[in-house]
Structure 1
Amino acid sequence: MAESRAPVHVTGEVVATKRIGGYRHLTLTAPGVPESFRAGNFVAVTVEGHVARRALWVHRVRASSAFGPTLDVVVETRGSGTAWLAAQPVGARVTITGPLGRPFALPKDPVSCLLVGEGYAAAPLFPLAERLRERGCQVSLLVSAPDEAHLLSALEARRSARSVTVLTADGSVGQRGTVADHVDDLLVRSNADVVYAAGPTAVIRAAAAAAERAGAWSQVAVEVPTPCGTGLCHGCPLPVVGEDGVDRVIRACTEGPVVRGDRVRWEAM
């Protein structure tokens, strides 16, 4: 599994903020974080009035801009912490730790890859698609959401992959249905050797199961609450089967969030 570099703890700045559908997209400066980022890493942001930090997937990294290297994150308001973060204006200072966690491992040779993501949690698949294309891999992308407002970057997806499938549960855009309804067919059509997935547990479990049925290798970015993001609090247990076949619990924020799909003990999630 790929390793990320040592994280840094820095004060960054909000340099752009934009509402797109059901999400708030923030562009942040965070000296040292974009330079060390690998697809699948996340960052933890300190939230005013809260002990636990908010873990955010990195959607895009820009190596150069008018503000120097920046990173984009996607925020869905779910409580007071994310509401505070989404409300931060341009110029606001924020405390950021990152990059955190194990990123996606990249194939050594050009292979066919299927990327499966739902909602804002599909964010890490976009920088992953760029890295895979740089390595000569054929990339197919499936992006899904309950409805159009929560579909992440469908237009950008078409620039990131050879083929794109858009699903919404209510049929408001793209095909109607869920990942579980379509992923087996997409695996056959893409002839994928590797499946990468990010999203709610039901989505990544369906992708991992489809990969196993097809004889493909899978990696999933698991999303569980990560109060500290650095492994100190042990507050993000992830049940897995070790390489030795023994059941164990790892910390999602350090030994994850990216793990092999066939190693997750899904029934214990």
Structure 2
Amino acid sequence: MQSPGTVLTVRQVAAYHAMTLVAPAVAERFRPGQFLAIAVGGEHTSLLARRCFPIYEVKSDYGGTVELVFEATDPGTNWLASRRSRDAVDVIGPLGRPFPLPRDPASCLLVGGAQGASGLFSLADALRRRDCQTHFVLAAPHGAQIFGARSAQRIGDSATVITRDGSLGTAGSVPDLLPRIIDESRADVIYAAGPTALMSAVSSVAAAHGIPCQVSVAELLASTSACGIGTCQSCVLPVIGDDGITRMARACTEGPVLRGERVRWSDLGTIPLDAMGGPRAPSSAITAP
């Protein structure tokens, strides 16, 4: 639903900005894993496309608030970072397919990369209400890029921080350390959100261990200008269906939550030749006798 949102606060959180909006209509309908599409730049801007962000937290304050976390790296997000209390923004949400939740109590491993991890904290709350264990893995190249380490330690049954340079937590990479964490947590299911390379790696490790893996590609939406409602087609990616046929899925509508083993990660940015409706190789020329 499209509705006006009123800025409550914008604050700096490590390398990121956290914005809290009063948006009762969005808060009422939100389910973990969904996202917002926000118009940026003001009424007279040339920035026509919206920016999409995963939702970090929803509260009942002021009739319903939603909080999102973003990095100010372009004119659109810089404009958002410059908003002040009581400013109005145009919001569409909540959008997209949410995370499916286990029917029974389970051990859940939540893997988040950089600010993409923000979308996992509302999921953790929902899992805990179902008596599930929640084990966090937060990863980033540098310690300043880790989001939510203290919150993860507070609410999770365990929390592991991994940085490539060792500036915070354990030095290393998620693909190298994740198998041990899976064994120690006795994970029944993996949920992941963050950069594409991380989602691909987590999906591969999960498949090797035979563990269901649900990934959010919301950061793919956040890194591009997108409509958020399936019209602009800027967020398509190849996904294998239940029938084994590859189709081009829209991250904003068929996602952002997808089964990790179904995404053809190595073909992102392309339309595979074997995808339904995709391009076909030219037929051989017929030589006249």
Amino acid at match of 1:16: T
Aligned match of 2:273 = none
Aligned match of 2:52 = 55
Q: Is the 8 A contact 1:77 1:83 kept in 2?
A: yes
Alignment of 1:1-269 (within 5 A): 8-48=1-41, 49=45, 50-63=47-60, 65=61, 67-222=62-217, 223-224=219-220, 225=224, 227-269=226-268
Higher radius of gyration, 1 or 2: 2
Q: Is the 8 A contact 1:11 1:30 kept in 2?
A: yes
In 2: Cα distance, 1:267 partner to 1:145 partner:
21
Amino acid at match of 2:257: V
- The residue matched to 1:213 in structure 2 has which SS? helix
Aligned match of 2:275 = none
Q: What is the Cα deviation at residue 148 of structure 1? A: 2.0
Q: What is the Cα deviation at residue 164 of structure 1? A: 0.3
Q: Is the 8 A contact 1:229 1:253 kept in 2?
A: yes
Q: What is the Cα deviation at residue 62 of structure 1? A: 0.7
Q: Is the 8 A contact 2:139 2:146 kept in 1?
A: yes
Q: What is the Cα deviation at residue 226 of structure 1? A: 5.5
Q: What is the Cα deviation at residue 51 of structure 1? A: 0.8
Q: Is the 8 A contact 2:117 2:148 kept in 1?
A: no
Q: Is the 8 A contact 1:226 1:236 kept in 2?
A: no
In 2: Cα distance, 1:146 partner to 1:87 partner:
27
Report the RMSD for the aligned CA atoms in angstroms.
Answer: 1.0
In 2: Cα distance, 1:104 partner to 1:158 partner:
22
Q: What is the Cα deviation at residue 237 of structure 1? A: 0.4
Provide structure 1 residue ranges, at least 5 long, that are not aligned to the other structure.
1-7
- The residue matched to 1:124 in structure 2 has which SS? helix
How many residue pairs get aligned? The number is 260
| CA offset digits 1:55-112 (Å, max 9, x no partner) | 011111112x2x2210110010121111111111111110000000001000101111
Q: What is the Cα deviation at residue 117 of structure 1? A: 0.4
Amino acid at match of 2:49: A
Q: What is the Cα deviation at residue 38 of structure 1? A: 0.6
When normalised by structure 1's length, the TM-score is 0.94
In 2: Cα distance, 1:74 partner to 1:220 partner:
18
Judge which range, 18-27 or 176-185, deviates more: 176-185
Q: What is the Cα deviation at residue 26 of structure 1? A: 0.6
In 1: Cα distance, 2:176 partner to 2:23 partner:
39
Provide structure 2 residue ranges, at least 5 long, that are not aligned to the other structure.
269-289
| CA offset digits 1:115-148 (Å, max 9, x no partner) | 1001111111100011111101111110111212
